[in-house]
Structure 1
């Protein structure tokens, strides 16, 4: 097993950080790896807003649902789906940006962000840094857009805390391979696999050193998706000129 695979398999979500800055050279290399990652048609439909200012991190932590680790992390990356540069290119070439009205453009932008974020996590962890992705950046999306001065055709998709870990939460057991990996066609008979995973997951929750509790994976996921959370998404998409906004 090579060092890259070892690093990827050791991933943990870190929510406590030492009071120690991340080196500028490390951040530079993280961004370089993100820029080298795959993206649709080399359009590079993503941007990163790096936040280090303590007061701005504090405001973003509150907007994300009072997530204290955003304040504690020395660097908070906000990953955005970005077609503003595409808009400028269209203006420069005197062409209309018709494709932005297609919902597929939203899928493209979010996919590019996902690849970029995953690459940043892998790069950061190769330096021994800790990370945790923050979907809560969409909780109060309109205020985040104002806070970061995002132009039209740019939307916040995910945040990422980066810093030196002050904890080791341990490895969280993942779903069995056969539930996420299918050969040739999707295999629908997943209930026995989920029942088996529930037992593994429940044992993990009970035995972990911090925040131990009872429950199963299906119980957690079903409860989470039993309601909607981010009610500004349609307004955000409409304001930023993306498809999928209010009609």
Structure 2
């Protein structure tokens, strides 16, 4: 197995950091790797806001629900859906930018944000740093918008911590649903997905118990805990206030 595959197959979220600084040269490389990720039509409708100020990082941790892995990170990178850049390009071309007011615009921005954060984390982990994706910033999008001074036609989609891993605290690779219920050949198989859910529910329960976290919920219990309600209720309202609207809805 080559080094790249080994890294990807052993990816895990790191929530404990030493407090040491991420080297500036390393951070520059990480950001460049994220920038090189593909975007739809090469629109480059993603921007990164890099936070190193400790007081601001603690504020982001509060916004995200008081997450300690955010508060103790050396760097927090917010991945921003950015049609403000497209708007500048459209003005130069003498046309009006409307993509942010469509369902496709939201999908494109979200997809590209996910691609960017994956590239960023892969780069950071290749240099020995730990990361965790943080979607909790959408619990209070207005606070993030104000903190980062985001203009109209931009939105804080998600973020990532970066820090030096505290190796004294063990971390393990969390199992996933069975591969045959995840990667399906030729057509979607509802039965495989359903049976995979039940198998994974048992496997994850055993995994939690094996690392001494018996109080953690099973897969089905955790999914039900979040997906039985709209757990970030401010997203739609703040999207509208930032200039995003489904004007193409039927």
TM-score norm. by structure 2 comes to 0.94
Structure 1, unmatched stretches of 5+, are none
State whether structure 2 residue 71 is matched by structure 1 residue 68: no
User: How many angstroms apart in 2 are the aligned matches of 1:100 and 1:203?
Assistant: 44
Q: CA RMSD in A?
A: 1.5
Structure 1 residues 222 and 73, CA gap change in structure 2 (3 angstroms): same
Secondary structure in 2 aligned to 1:48? Answer: strand
Superposed displacement of residue 92, structure 1 = 1.6
Structure 1 residue aligned with 2:120: 120
Query: Does the residue aligned with 1:137 lie in a helix, a strand or coil?
Result: helix
Q: What is the CA distance between 1:213 and its match in structure 2?
A: 2.5
Which of 198, 201, 204 pairs up with 1:198? Answer: 201
In 1: Cα distance, 2:217 partner to 2:152 partner? 43
Q: Number of paired residues?
A: 245
2:233 to 214, 231, 234: 231
Whole-Å Cα distance in 1 between the matches of residues 216 and 155 of structure 2? 37
In the other structure, the counterpart of 1:132 is 132
- Give the corresponding residue for 1:185: 187
- With over 3 angstroms needed to count, the CA separation of the structure-2 counterparts of 1:64 and 1:215, relative to structure 1, is closer
Q: Unaligned regions of 5+ residues in structure 2, if any?
A: none
Match in the other structure for 1:171: 173
- The 5 Å alignment of 1:1-247 reads 1-166=1-166, 167-189=169-191, 190-209=193-212, 211-213=213-215, 215-244=217-246
2:157 is paired with a residue whose SS is strand
What is the deviation of 1:193?
2.2
Q: Conserved in 2, the CA contact under 8 Å of 1:234 and 1:244?
A: no
Q: Deviations over 1:53-83 (max 9, x none)?
A: 0111111111110112212100000011111
**Offset at 1:177?**
0.6
After superposing on structure 2, the runs of 4+ consecutive aligned residues of structure 1 that deviate more than 2 Å are 190-193, 211-216
